[in-house]
Amino acid sequence: MGHYIYLEERRIAYARAHGCFLRKRGEIFAPEWMGWEERGRSLEEDFKRLAAHHGLSGKNIILVLGVDLSFLGLSLPKAAGSVVERMAVNQLFVKEGVPQDPAAAVTIGYSKTRDKAFAALFYVEGRLLTEYKNALRAAGMGCSHVLAAPDCMALAAQEMWKESSHLVVDVEEEQLGLYLVSGGNCLASDIASLRAGRFFQMKGEEMFYQEVAERAEHLFLMAGEREGCGSEGFRPECVVLLGDCLPDPEVGGERLAQLLALPCRMERLGEVPGGLIAACISGCLWGRTGKRRPARVKGNDKKGVIPFVQGSIGRVWRWWILCLLMNGAAALSVGLWFNLKEREEAAKAAEIRRAVTESERSQSFGGARAMKEEMERMAAMEAAGNLVMEEAAAGEKLLSMDSLQVLMDCLEPDMKVESITFEGEKGELSLVLSMDERGQIPLYVEGVREKGVFPHVNHSLWEQKEEEGMPERFFAAVTVSLKEGSQDEDD
């Protein structure tokens, strides 16, 4: 079961998704919908209210952003996915108007006719992402990951509709979302606080549809520049209108078809927001062969050394210009002044070199630490694989790499597998885990239970140990049963 919280500017919604996405007889099977709630003065209070009403304490939440998102589309040289993503993030950091330390979800696509790669970035301020996660933790919930509604809509459109490209017009009571999608990727998006109800109350239906059409044409041009489609821009095969809140959705679809000169059809989702349904559908695709996972909104922990050095060099350059001007006015006095400034600039340059060296050292240490953690994770998987082979050699078939992969996937980044043992007669697999925070183990156990792979999951009392010169960590033993008959008992 997946727990989803959807954020808009003025509202918040929660839904549970059971099983996999289905579509039958033209009807979309929606998740278990809990309705809208108005956002209050504090997001932490909103989350606490949701946790109390729906019993979400200790649950892992998938947070879906339908607000505060900005879009940046880039055309880049064709390269490996990780290289293209790094280039795209670097472009984001130097682009004017982008907030400091942005957090972004990045998707990569490749041109079939040109030697180009296309990157779509959905970004928010880094401080906002931190606030969202901190508010969830303060409410007693864990944050599994954060998704961007436009990327989820691109994946859902590929699954729901037969056309290869769409303009999805998601009309909600409090906002408007436009998503230009093709082949499971979002080429351009626009989320605006545009209240359709007010237009219709003031008899401004025509003005509303014209505004939607103008915004759509702007998206076509944005995508066309990257796709090389000429002055007309990228034209999708059809328009999909999600507009259950409209007074007459059929009339709205006909009007958009006229304004955009594209076929348009209605999809009825009821009160459930389109971005939330799209997130639930994309979540059901995880693990399927050939299906891409939705990109996660992640912060960038690496500080910008290059902008710091560039700014320092710029200041040095301005001092040199001032030096030359004063030299033309009074050679003798400028000579003395120059010597003084030269010493100051030498000290400043030395300070810059020290800052760069310390930053590079810090990055190297971070890379070595990440490599060490990855090697430890690989060693744990190798030990688990040996258990599978030993158990198979003994003639048993309880263990499988798929079930062991579930245990590894639920680990937080700072959690380590200290040991792993298997008792074939009891059909029990035991892991000793270490972690930084005590509260991580209940979330881990709950995450394993929600996967539904093991009949019973329990954990022992945790204990804390402190090694010399190392920070304090917590240890816990987690036992999963591969046979029916035992009970979940958490000490």
Q: DSSP alpha helices (H): ranges in 399-479?
A: 401-409, 440-451
CATH superfamily to which 398-481 belongs: General secretion pathway protein M, EpsM (3.30.1360.100)
Angle among Cα 352, 353, 359 to the nearest 5 degrees reads 90
Tell me if residue 317 falls in helix, strand or coil: helix
Q: Note the pLDDT of residue 332.
A: 47
Domain boundaries, the chain: 2-284, 305-367, 398-481
269: Cβ contacts below 8 Å, ≥ 6 apart: 28, 30, 242, 244, 277
Neighbours of 366 (CB within 10 A): 12
Instruction: Report the C-alpha gap between 210 and 199 in whole angstroms.
Output: 12
Return the CATH number of 2-284, one of 3.40.50.2030, 1.10.760.10, 3.30.420.380, 3.40.50.300. 3.30.420.380
* % of the chain residues with pLDDT over 90: 10
For the stretch 337-377, pLDDT in tens is: 445 655 665 666 566 656 555 555 455 445 555 555 555 55
Instruction: Report the C-alpha gap between 30 and 23 in whole angstroms.
Output: 10
Instruction: Report the C-alpha gap between 185 and 81 in whole angstroms.
Output: 14
149 neighbors 64 (Cβ within 8 angstroms):
yes
pTM: 0.59
Tell me if residue 4 falls in helix, strand or coil: strand
Instruction: Report the C-alpha gap between 427 and 479 in whole angstroms.
Output: 10
DSSP-derived secondary structure for 37-88: EE--S-HHHHHHHHHHHHT-TT-EEEEEE-SS-EEEEEEEE---HHHHHHHH
Q: Which amino acid is at 128?
A: L
- Rg (Cα) of the chain, in Å, rounded? 27
Tell me if residue 213 falls in helix, strand or coil: helix
Residue 300 has pLDDT above 50, yes or no: yes
For the stretch 163-191, pLDDT in tens is: 889 999 998 888 888 999 988 889 899 98
Q: Note the pLDDT of residue 248.
A: 85
Residues 57-72, mean pLDDT to the nearest whole number: 88
207: its two tokens = 């003005």
Confidence of residue 310 (pLDDT cuts 50, 70, 90): very low
Instruction: Report the C-alpha gap between 16 and 6 in whole angstroms.
Output: 11
**How many CA atoms, within 13 angstroms, populate the side-chain half-sphere of residue 443?**
23
Instruction: Report the C-alpha gap between 270 and 225 in whole angstroms.
Output: 36
